[in-house]
Every structure is written in structure tokens, then in C-alpha cells.
Chains A and B, each alone.
Chain A
Amino acid sequence: MVDKGLTLKGLTIKDLTMRTSAHLRIGDQPWVKWSLITLALSLVTLLLLVPLFAIFAQAFSGGLESYIANVTDRFTLHAIGLTLFVAALTVPINLVFGVFLAWLVTRFEFPGRKLLITLIDIPFAVSPVVAGLLYLLLYGSNGWIGSRLMDHDIQLMFSWPGILMVTVFVTCPFVARELIPLMQQQGKEEEEAGVTLGASGWQLFRRITLPNIQWALIYGVVLTNARAVGEFGAVSVVSGNIRGETNTLPLHVELLYQDYNVVGAFASSSLLAGIALLTLFVKSFVEWRQARQRQALNEEEI
């Protein structure tokens, strides 16, 4: 009946299907496919893999002994220590801040809520150098707040508290940004159910909220940590670059390079690259776990 009767602008349905199957879609020709693959692979190799490889090649260009000597240099060790110290403080601060903020904007209705959600993104929108400069103007010895603190002999800029402050600023959206969409999707019914069953605030968080958001939280922490370790712009403005005192690893790389100690610079860079690779690995693992969780959530909705 279809073959005879149904026509569409003079073509029977059979004609139409035959036409489309006879035609290959764009990209189905082997040469298109292979040239695209080649192009993508060569770009990835040139722009991503070669530089990464070069870092390690340069770092080890003077042999293993010189690499170890460079890495265990007094100033390098100090820079590693300061970087890890700042990251170790930044991560818990932003973890707590992010969870509180996400909880606030997803569980309560109040005027200005939408504005607050927008404001969370400010650190992403502002260039880190500008952020550093703002902190310098506010908290520097001539700054509006800084001059008052100076009267009490408290110096924030050009010392580790300043570095910590700008790092916290730059990385503060990561955790909240990861949590807000998830917590909005999950809703507050489970927490309400928990509270009618007599759970205290801490029990609610520990036993209901946290298990539901744990993978998003870990993902946020991984991103926060990566950015805290690698931050250059804002830190460089407020640190004062005092070798052995306020030099973080990214700043140290720059200093060594300017000193024509290329091998030393790359040795330090290889440490940063190593941290980055580790982060990527953790991130992919967490993404895989999250995808599984989302799948479970979707199945539940069906």
C-alpha cells in the first residue's frame, strides 16, 4: 500500500529511502575522516604533547643528578613548601565556603539570591592580575584597610597571608559552581524527610547531604587545588617575589628563567606539570564516578 499509494511531491517513499541510502553523509568518505583525524592529532601533538614532553626533556637535559640538585635547591624547596602550604590552606577554606554558599542558595529563598549566584562568578570574570592589584590597593601599607592594619603591625601584602588571600579569591567559585547545579537538581525533600525523622543539622549534612554531593565536592576540590598550585598572576602582584620567603613555585620558575637557569626553571616546571598530570588523573576518575551517579539518578527518574 505504501509502495503504490503514498507519494510525496511526486516521489514514492521507496524512492526517498533509496536516495538517502545511496548518498553518503559528509564525513563518511574515508579521506575526510582521515584528514580530520590527522589534523586533530597533529594539533594535539604540537600544542599539548610536545611542550609537555619538552618540559621533562629540558628538566633532565643535565642528567638525573643535576635534576635532583635543582629540585633540592634551598630556594626551590622553599617555593615548593610555600606553594603546598598555600594550597593546603586554600582548599579547606574554599571547601567550607563553597559548601555553605551552595547550601545557602539552593536551600533557602531570600531577596538577592539570584544576585548572589551571579556574584560567585566574579573571580572567574576578573583577570587575576586585576584581582591582585585590587588586594594590593586595599590591603597594602598605603591601602584603605592595610594602613589601619599597619598601625597594629599587621602586614598582609608581600607575605604569605597576602598570597593566601588572593589564591582564595581566585579559586573560590570552583566548589560552589560544582555543587549548586547538583543540589538544585536533587532538591531539598530528602533533607526535609531527614529533619522530620528527628535528625540534627549536623546529622543531616553528614548522613544525607554529603553522601549525595561527595563526588561533585571532590571534583571541586581537585579543580581548586590545581588552580591554587598554579596561580601566577594575582600572586605575582602581591607576593613581592622575595626569594626564599614569598616565592611560590610558578613565580620561582619565572625567576630561575630570568636568571638564565633554564634547566633549573624546567626542573621546577616539571614538578608543576607532575601535579597537573596527577590532577587530571584524579579528575577523570571523579568524572567517571559522577557519570555513573547521574546515570543512576536518571534511571530513578524514569
Chain B
Amino acid sequence: MSIRVENVSKRFGKFQALEPLSLEIPDGQLVGLLGPSGSGKTTLLRIIAGLESADTGRILFHGDDVTGVHVRDRRVGFVFQHYALFRHMTVAENIAFGLEVMPKGQRPNAKEIKKRVHDLLEMVQLGQLANRYPAQLSGGQKQRVALARALAMQPQVLLLDEPFGALDAKVRKDLRRWLRNLHDELHFTSVFVTHDQEEALELSDQVVVMSAGKIEQVDTPQTLYAQPDSRFVLGFLGHINVLQGDVNQGRLSQGNAWITLNDHPNAKQVECYFRPHEVKLQTQPSPTAHLPLKVSAVSLIGAEVRVELEADGWSSPEPWEVGISHAEYNAWQPMRGDRCYAVPEVGHLFSSDKTEPELIQWSQAQQRPVSTARSSVVSLFASA
């Protein structure tokens, strides 16, 4: 069932939780609402469910206006951040609840209900816990019970409010994969709220990035990452390194740092953003970029080594972060206080008059990887 949000806005007292916004969610998609806290993503989800009423605008399910339809009649599955299991009922009773409160005519008979509950428990792999109470379950188990309870009604729309927010990292990963499979199997339309960009990018068909009650960008995870529309989106999807300054004669400079920008008109207050993996570190500046940095921390955990750097002789609002491979790390062995130069391959340029970035690429030929350093291994690596 497709969902259409038209011109919906919401105000809580003096706080404008949602600016008027519209959104189209096609049938069968898994859509992530991503944004920092207070961006209005949960409010939007609750308005779609009918738990909150919008001040203006309409909600359409499959083309039908459901704005005036009560939550209980919208037939959406809703999964709460803190599970909201009925604490005085067993797991099986929790799952059966939605079926048991149906009006007499539609309600399946007791045997049918029992079978459905059994099937759902099998589906969420909790068959042996049917007679436990919520207090006796772990967080991941509770969340699966909550999902089974929502799915008992066979809803065509499943809404999840920060479904994995309260779980530890490993359980979260398992559940994420499991939800993706479930979605592919059952083909309902799902919308989930998250503040974790990794979760949104991994799980969703489409990501809706929100900030301050507005939709910033709606795109597939790939497009969103490759072509962010605004500073906010770029900054929200992972760390960014910033050079702020003025453009003069094809050069963006600040202090002793500069990068070349071919044929760019002179301008004030220009910002260039670099992603950690779009920057190389060298011991010598390149002809296109002169960005002196000082190593302030090195983190070895993960697929690549994360080097944190301070601007040396200029200023940056936040420390720079650059990812280098473990091989590069072993060759270079950076230590705290070491000086080096950043050489960007790709930059996202924001002029003050435009909100959309301009993509800038520098040719690879002029660059040399981190090399002239301490051991002979380096030269081997550099030529490789």
C-alpha cells in the first residue's frame, strides 16, 4: 500500500515540529526517516500512524484519504521504540491481543487465533518463550515480540519508531538483517525512524533525511551518499573535513592553507567539504593543494586506520579525519604531532549564494601517496 503525505505540518505549543512537507512512499518499499533528534521524524511517523493529528495537510493510503480515520481503523502495524509490550500478558497473549479485540464478526475463532500466534512465534523464532512475561525477556526478544504483535493484524503498512535504538550493537545488526529479510518476504510498505545513518543507508530502499521539521533530501542510499543536496545531508552522513575561506584568482585560501579551483570566480565565504576517504595524506604538498596538518590521534580499529588531524597554521571548525589503509599505516607509522599535507581528490564546494554543492575533482597525476618516509618498505609500497 503506497503512502502519500501532502502538505502536513505540526506545531506543539510554540515549537514548530514539522514545516508543511510532502512525501510519496511507493508500495512495498522500506523507507528510512533519518535525522538528528528534534528533526520531526518521529512526529511524522506518528502522524502517518494516526497517533498524532496533523495541523494541516492530508495523509493518503493507496490513494484514499485517511486523515480523518482513527488510528484503530487505519490498520497500520506500529512498533514502539521501547517495545510497549503489555506487561501483564504473556508473549502469546501479547501477540493474540490484536486478533482478540476484533469485532465479533471479523474475529477468527479461538483455534485460528492460537494457530496464527503459533505461526508468528515461529516466524520471530521465539516459539519456546510463548508463556514468558515481557519482564523475563531480553531487549532483542522484546523487540521481536513487538514486531510479531504488530504483524498479527497482517497490516499493509508497518511503522517502526527507532526500532533498534535501545539494543546493543550486535543484536541490532542481527535484527536489522532479519527485518530486511522479513520485509522482502512479506512485502508490506515499511517506514522506520532512525538517527543512525549507517542503519538508514544499509536497510532502506529510500532514505528521507530530515532536519528541523523539514525534508532535506529523499533518495536511494547510493545517490544520497554520492550526491548530497545540501550541507546538512553531507554533514549528517558521516564525518566531513572543511576548508572555509575566500576565493581569489582561482584559489580558495585561508591562512597558509589553499586549494586550486580552476576558473572559479572570486567569492567570499566559500566552504569546501571533503569526505575522509576522498583525501590522501602526503609528507609534501601537491601543486593543487596546500593543506598542512598535524596528527592528533590515530585509531586502528576497523577496516581502515582513522587519523585525526589538527589544522596547522590555519583554522578548521572541527578536527580533520582521514582514513588510510592498514598497509599505508604500516608504511608511514604516523605518530602524534607528525606533520603532513592533505591532498583531496574530490571536494564539495558550497558558495554562500547556493545551497547545492558543486563537485570538484583534481587530477590524480599530480599526486604522490605518503611516501618519502621512514623505511625502504615505503618505496616498494609507493610504486605498487
Q: Tell me the complex Cα distance, A273–B170, Å.
A: 61
Q: Tell me the complex Cα distance, A195–B52, Å.
A: 12
A291 interface residue per 8 A CB criterion? no
Q: Tell me the complex Cα distance, A194–B153, Å.
A: 12
In the assembled complex, which residues on chain B have CB atoms less than 8 Å from the CB atom of A203? 101
Q: Is the CB of A197 within 8 A of B88?
A: no
Q: Is the CB of A300 within 8 A of B134?
A: yes
In the assembled complex, which residues on chain B have CB atoms less than 8 Å from the CB atom of A195? 51, 71-72
In the assembled complex, which residues on chain B have CB atoms less than 8 Å from the CB atom of A198? 72-73, 75, 98, 101-102, 153
Q: Which residue of chain A is the closest to B50 with respect to CB atoms?
A: A196
Contact segment of A17-25, A205-213, A227-235: A205-213
Contact of B72 (CB < 8 Å), options: A199, A212, A297: A199
In the assembled complex, which residues on chain B have CB atoms less than 8 Å from the CB atom of A199? 72, 97, 101
Q: Is the CB of B97 within 8 A of A207?
A: yes
Could you name 29 residue pairs across A and B whose Cβ atoms are closer than 8 Å?
A190-B85, A190-B87, A192-B80, A193-B80, A193-B84, A194-B97, A195-B51, A195-B71, A196-B49, A196-B71, A196-B72, A196-B76, A197-B97, A197-B101, A197-B149, A197-B153, A198-B75, A198-B98, A198-B102, A198-B153, A199-B101, A203-B101, A207-B101, A211-B88, A212-B87, A212-B88, A296-B87, A296-B135, A297-B87
Q: Which residue of chain B is the closest to A302 with respect to CB atoms?
A: B135
Min Cβ gap B89→A in Å is 8
* 9 additional A-B residue pairs with CB within 8 Å, beyond A194-B86, A198-B101, A300-B134: A193-B84, A195-B51, A197-B153, A198-B98, A198-B102, A199-B72, A199-B97, A207-B86, A211-B88
Q: Is the CB of B88 within 8 A of A193?
A: no
User: Which are the 8 A-B pairs with shortest beta-carbon distances?
Assistant: A197-B98, A189-B84, A193-B84, A196-B78, A300-B135, A199-B101, A211-B88, A203-B101
Min Cβ gap A276→B in Å is 32
Q: Tell me the residues in window 19-65 of chain B with beta carbons closer than 8 Å to chain A beta carbons.
A: 49, 51
Q: Can you list, as one digit per residue, whether each of A43-57 has a CB less than 8 Å from chain B (1) or not (0)?
A: 000000000000000
Q: Which residue of chain B is the closest to A186 with respect to CB atoms?
A: B87
Q: Is the interface of A mostly helix, strand, loop or mixed?
A: helix
Chain B interface residue count: which class?
A: 20 to 34
Q: Tell me the complex Cα distance, A206–B39, Å.
A: 36
Chain A interface residue count: which class?
A: 20 to 34
A151 interface residue per 8 A CB criterion? no
Q: Which residue of chain B is the closest to A298 with respect to CB atoms?
A: B135
In the assembled complex, which residues on chain B have CB atoms less than 8 Å from the CB atom of A297? 87
Q: Tell me the complex Cα distance, A300–B146, Å.
A: 15
Given contacts A199-B101, A207-B101, A300-B87, contact A193 B78 (CB under 8 A): yes
B344 interface residue per 8 A CB criterion? no
Min Cβ gap A161→B in Å is 39
Which of B97, B101, B102 gathers most chain A CB within 10 Å?
B101
Q: Is the CB of B88 within 8 A of A189?
A: no
Q: Tell me the complex Cα distance, A25–B133, Å.
A: 44
Which of B76, B85, B97, B150 gathers most chain A CB within 10 Å?
B97
A261 interface residue per 8 A CB criterion? no
Q: Tell me the residues in window 159-207 of chain A with beta carbons closer than 8 Å to chain B beta carbons.
A: 189-190, 192-200, 203, 207
A28 interface residue per 8 A CB criterion? no
A3 interface residue per 8 A CB criterion? no
Q: Tell me the residues in window 135-185 of chain B with beta carbons closer than 8 Å to chain A beta carbons.
A: 135, 146, 149-150, 152-153
B77 interface residue per 8 A CB criterion? yes
In the assembled complex, which residues on chain B have CB atoms less than 8 Å from the CB atom of A299? 135
In the assembled complex, which residues on chain B have CB atoms less than 8 Å from the CB atom of A296? 87, 135
In the assembled complex, which residues on chain A have CB atoms less than 8 Å from the CB atom of B98? 197-198
Q: Which residue of chain B is the closest to A214 with respect to CB atoms?
A: B88
Min Cβ gap B337→A in Å is 33
In the assembled complex, which residues on chain B have CB atoms less than 8 Å from the CB atom of A189? 80, 82, 84
Q: Is the CB of A196 within 8 A of B101?
A: no
Q: Is the CB of B77 within 8 A of A196?
A: yes
In the assembled complex, which residues on chain A have CB atoms less than 8 Å from the CB atom of B80? 189, 192-193
In the assembled complex, which residues on chain A have CB atoms less than 8 Å from the CB atom of B87? 190, 212, 296-297, 300
Q: Tell me the complex Cα distance, A199–B80, Å.
A: 17
Q: Tell me the complex Cα distance, A300–B133, Å.
A: 10
Q: Can you list, as one digit per residue, whether each of B185-197 has a CB less than 8 Å from chain A (1) or not (0)?
A: 0000000000000
In the assembled complex, which residues on chain A have CB atoms less than 8 Å from the CB atom of B75? 198
In the assembled complex, which residues on chain A have CB atoms less than 8 Å from the CB atom of B74? 196
Q: Tell me the complex Cα distance, A199–B107, Å.
A: 12
